[in-house]
Chains A and B, each alone.
Chain A
Amino acid sequence: MTAQMKLGAFLWATGHHIAAWRHPKAHVTAGIDIDHYIQLARTAEAAKFDMIFCEDAAGLREANVEIASQTSRSIGFEPISLLSALAAQTSRIGLVSTASTSYNEPYGLARTFLSLDHLSGGRAGWNLVTSASPIEAANFGATGLKPHADRYERAREFAEVVTGLWRGKASGHDGQSFSVRDPLDLPRSPQGAPVMVQAGASDVGRNLAARTADVVFTAAQTFEEAKAFYDDLKGRMAAYGREPDDIKIMPGVSPVVAETEAEAREKHEELQALIPDDVGVALLSSYLSISDLGRYPIDGPLPELPESEGMKSRQALVVEQSRRDGLSIRQLARHFAGARGHWRIVGTAAQVADELQARFEGGAADGFNVMPAYFPGELDAFATLVVPELQRRGLFRRDYEGRTLRDHLGLKRPA
């Protein structure tokens, strides 16, 4: 347990709320405006965030063109080019991009992230994901979704090759999925190696994280869920010869914060009211990996679901929540559309800080990946209201400890 929490600023499109782009104060052209992103990065850096984080998908997020056209998520910057641009316009903040093991090769990915690491003076990180989306698969000649276990076996080998290359491994690799002959043609990273991040929460995903991750992002609604995940993952690490502190677990949190609780609630309601029903239901369907949720009465309960090869952990989260709170499809859709299954806090800076402090000090989190509802407003609000409150309580840094992402996170430099 470290004395201070770690914070990530998760930048995404016009905001993490599905209707963010419709908010009067949201910057609607975010997906084509690099200056907007430079400003966000500088805001996060001025607030001493550990890192900026970008998600990634090699394809559209929504197959239904009618639904897709009512959201802002069909266009945006490709994250590695985006973060490389931000590297030149920032000096301290970490830069973490998601990239899939399903549609890349380890040599190319290792080289690209190492280049970002050099451009930024040792501030790069890679969030390893496997791809489950058939929309992505169709852009890579794949004929259907690979079973969960296969995707993870490929990911395990992929991570092994990448970390080997980053550590200057000189001899070749010849494995099940990949073969690589040469070492990388770039010098060693300024921070030893880029930081490894993971988000998979399934059993096989947790083992991969326990073996290779420096940081784990996760979704947890309740304290108990967060705590159970935290203890489980830290408990798996000894088997791989690692200390519990070698991984920072950072659940996602989507705060809506204002000077007063009433204002915060009003802001949240305003966002919720902007979600069209069909968009909410479509989003919920994609999280549940089922295509026909629209068939069921929107004010009725969630139907029984078949187990899918998609996102197992997230599906379980949604089902559990719907049963626990007795939510209708519409209520569930709005709830999930808002924070995408992540934890949401609506309130004042003190209320938000109380909640974060309880999870941090209760051993359920090493920090948080902050998912502002809309940009730039909610990132500004977190930076100007919540961060100073956390600093006053001694829970967050007032200045950077060092220059590299590993310095900020308090991670060992790899051998």
Chain B
Amino acid sequence: MDNGATMHLAVSLFAGTADPSPELEFSHLAGLVQKAEAAGLDMVLLADSAPAAGGDTPNQQMPFEATTLLAALATVTSKIGLVAAASTIAHQPYNLARRFASLDIISHGRAGWSATMAQSPREAANFSRPEGFSDADFRRRTEEYIGIVRGLWQGWDADALLFDKSGGRFHNPEKMHTLDHKGEFFSVRGPLNVARSPQDTPVLVLSGLSVSDLDIAVRTADVILLDDEPNEGAKASYDDLKRRILACGREPDAVKVLTNIAPGTAGKLAAFADGLAEKFQSESCDGFNVQLPTQRSALDAFADLVVPELRRLGLFRENYRGTTLRSHLGPAGGGEQ
């Protein structure tokens, strides 16, 4: 639990929405994220669509890929965290680490990478791997991949850049570190050619966890997303995760466990706020990832009706505590060093 026992709130845009949205211009999405920022939410999660199951008809819900969208949104917001989904199949680890390191500088320390531990069965076939990976291979590969990305994010010390014009020294070469990773699936020398993040490293959000993924998640993640389940189960899952976090030498608070939840219709929003309050107070999560369709009305209802109610109950902070995503999430996580 957080100091002051306030929840963390994220909204996921376009997560599995089946409603064809009338307007998915960038300006519309910018308006949504600005509204979420005005409501003081910790972060927005940008899903990345994949070809719809069945594959014959392209899923044209979203004309944007999440990391490029994040970069554009970063320039029209100033406080809210921006987390993009990006797949470990679609990107080489060096390229992905570099993209997010750059996004973190563009956003002044508000970027996060949302990685899933679940393999999308169709995806590998578009990346010259028609056979995909076995579950065991995919898990080992993902674990190695996450380790590489986190390592690359720490390749430059925060004080490496000198900018010394007269002395002719742009950076201190001793504060730049190669990774020299050689593993089962990847070999990566490093370092990145992007400077250290203003928030130390981009925030790592993990989802799609099976039981065998929990150990890597508690070692590396800053945020873990869990699907909603009935109270008893949710509480047990949460307690188990916090125990594991402690067991691997991290503060239980260093990892925020958020429950994925989708509100019903706008008419039920008052009840929805009560439901969130009840789950949070039963200590079965550190907050919520609210999955909304892209209609403006859905976000407006949540921001204008649910969030104020949670504040009235003393369960959500009034203002942002700082300007980086890590500052919203509270005690710095950072995972194992």
Contact = CB atoms under 8 A, between A and B. Distances in A.
B165 A21 contact: yes
Contacts of B260: none
Given A78-B98, A112-B65, A186-B60, A107 B126 contact: yes
A110 to B, nearest CB: 10
A222 interface: no
A38 B61 CA distance: 29
Contacts of A29: 161, 163
Interface in B187-236: 187-191, 193-195
Contacts of A23: 165
A159 interface: no
Interface in B264-316: none
Contact of A85 (B71, B91, B191): B71
Contacts of A179: 125, 128, 130
B86 to A, nearest CB: 10
Contacts, number: 195
Interface in B42-64: 49-52, 55, 58-60, 62-64
A250 interface: no
Nearest to B162: A69
A60 B191 contact: yes
A76 B95 contact: no
Nearest to A142: B187
Interface stretch (A114-122, A201-209, A306-314): A114-122
Nearest to B90: A108
Interface stretch (A133-141, A210-218, A324-332): A133-141
Contacts of A319: none
Contact of B189 (A57, A71, A139, A276): A139
8 cross-chain pairs, A with B, having the tightest CB-CB distances, nearest first: A84-B71, A78-B102, A115-B65, A141-B187, A138-B189, A88-B72, A181-B125, A84-B68
A58 B170 contact: no
Interface stretch (B171-179, B251-259, B324-332): B171-179
Contacts of A114: 65
A135 B189 CA distance: 8
14 contacts: A21-B165, A29-B161, A60-B191, A75-B193, A76-B193, A85-B106, A107-B127, A135-B189, A138-B189, A182-B125, A185-B51, A185-B60, A186-B63, A187-B60
B68 A112 contact: yes
Contacts of A89: 75
Interface of B: 26, 30, 49-52, 55, 58-60, 62-65, 67-76, 90-92, 94-95, 98-99, 101-103, 105-106, 108, 122, 125-128, 130, 156, 161, 163, 165-166, 168-173, 176, 186-191, 193-195
Most chain B CB inside 10 Å of its own CB: which residue of A111, A119, A140: A119
B169 to A, nearest CB: 6
A140 B50 CA distance: 25
A187 B61 CA distance: 9
A16 B298 CA distance: 49
Nearest to A107: B126
A108 B170 contact: no
A135 B190 CA distance: 9
A103 interface: yes
Contacts of A78: 98-99, 101-102, 194
A28 B167 CA distance: 13
A75 B64 contact: no
Interface string A168-194: 000000000111111111110000000
Given A58-B193, A74-B176, A179-B128, 11 more contacts: A21-B163, A58-B98, A65-B173, A75-B156, A78-B102, A81-B68, A81-B99, A111-B65, A138-B187, A139-B189, A177-B128
A247 interface: no
Contacts of A24: 165
Contacts of B75: 34, 38, 85, 88-89
Contact of A80 (B68, B161, B191, B193): B68
B170 A21 contact: yes
B106 A119 contact: no
Given A32-B161, A34-B105, A119 B99 contact: no
A22 B70 CA distance: 33
A68 interface: yes
Contacts of B50: 185
Contact of A82 (B65, B71, B187): B71
B96 to A, nearest CB: 10
